[in-house]
Amino acid sequence: MDLSAAKILPLDAERATLIGRAWVPGRVGGPSPVVIAGGRAYDLARVVPTVSELLNNRDPVKLVRESVKSK
């Protein structure tokens, strides 16, 4: 299975705000919200613990974009 960025991201990925969930392994592992920016995945768990909480935020796009700027 080819999971390269070129194969799985939309053509306008550089302009899009793409969120998802990634499995974080470990003793207290589980799904973690992520944003895809610049072809990389960034963990959002320190900003919002769940995708549901992110989407219920007053301005989820702004929250995500600001969290990536600070990295």
Q: Total structural domains in the chain?
A: 1
Q: Of how many residues is the chain composed? A: 71
Detail the DSSP E strand segments found in 1-52: 18-24, 30-37, 40-43
Residue 15 has pLDDT above 90, yes or no: no
What are the strands of the beta sheet with 40-43, ordered from one edge?
18-24, 30-37, 40-43
**What pLDDT, on the 0 to 100 scale, is given for residue 51?**
95
Q: What does the pLDDT read at residue 71?
A: 67
Question: Which pLDDT belongs to residue 53?
Answer: 96
Say what percent of the chain tops pLDDT 90. 52
**Burial (Cβ within 10 Å: 0-12, 13-18, ≥19) of residue 23:** exposed
Boundaries of domain holding 30: 5-69
Residue 68 DSSP symbol: H
Is 22:29 a contact under the CB 8 Å cutoff? no
